[in-house]
Amino acid sequence: MIYKTTDLWEKIYDACRSYFSEKAALYHYYGTAKSTFRQYLQEEFVPYKKYIYALRPLLACRYIETCHCVPPVRFDELLRQNLPDELTVQINEMLQVKARSDEKDRNPGLPVLRKYIAKEIDRYEQMLKKMPEDRVSDWERLDQIFLASLQSGPHL
């Protein structure tokens, strides 16, 4: 939801898109999923919220992989991707149980989710090892926008 925007903000936003690093973003999301998976999803009973904490970054990775841009933040938007039916069914079941449960409740582990998370973590680990560096090192465009914003006064 956009509450307010300015011409300057549009220039900044447009410029930032060209500085998006798929590799850096994938590393971030992969690391988050891997950490959550190792810390919270190895037990027989787990808080279902932790599945979301592992799935959301992996679905963000999937979005980056297919769309080559910043992924949506909202979990429900990430779920709109083309996912295997078995995975979608188990995610929906998990979300229903989670909605009826207390945040700290531990519920039986979900094998389909656990298997998917483990497989995707391994897949992204291998993919990241092979990806070329894609960070933009030329900051000239952002420097120009920054200096222009200082000269024209407060806009944000």
Could you report the per-residue pLDDT of 18-61, keeping only the tens digit for each?
889 999 999 999 999 999 999 999 999 999 999 999 999 999 99
Query: Same domain, yes or no, for 154 and 101?
Result: no
Query: Same domain, yes or no, for 38 and 88?
Result: yes
Mean pLDDT to the nearest integer, 123-151: 90
Query: Same domain, yes or no, for 53 and 128?
Result: yes
Query: Same domain, yes or no, for 6 and 29?
Result: no
Overall number of domains in the chain: 2
Reply yes or no on whether the pLDDT at 155 is more than 80. Answer: no
Helix/strand/coil (H/E/C) assignment for every residue in the chain = CCCCCCHHHHHHHHHHHCCCCHHHHHHHHHHHHHHHHHHHCCCCEECHHHHHHHHHHHHHHHHHHHHCCCCCCCHHHHCCCCCCHHHHHHHHHHHHHHHHCCCCCCEECCHHHHHHHHHHHHHHHHHHHHCCCCCCCCCHHHHHHHHHHHHHCCCC
Q: Which residue type sits at 118?
A: A
Mean pLDDT to the nearest integer, 115-142: 93
Query: Same domain, yes or no, for 26 and 100?
Result: yes
Query: Same domain, yes or no, for 95 and 108?
Result: yes
Query: Same domain, yes or no, for 79 and 94?
Result: yes
Query: Same domain, yes or no, for 147 and 73?
Result: no
Query: Same domain, yes or no, for 81 and 4?
Result: no
pLDDT value at residue 11: 83
pLDDT value at residue 12: 82
Q: Which domain holds residue 45?
A: 22-134
pLDDT, the chain, mean: 92
Mean pLDDT to the nearest integer, 14-18: 84
If one counts every other C-beta atom within 10 angstroms of the C-beta of residue 63, the result is 20
Query: Same domain, yes or no, for 101 and 121?
Result: yes
Q: Which residue type sits at 155?
A: H
Query: Same domain, yes or no, for 37 and 2?
Result: no
Query: Same domain, yes or no, for 44 and 82?
Result: yes
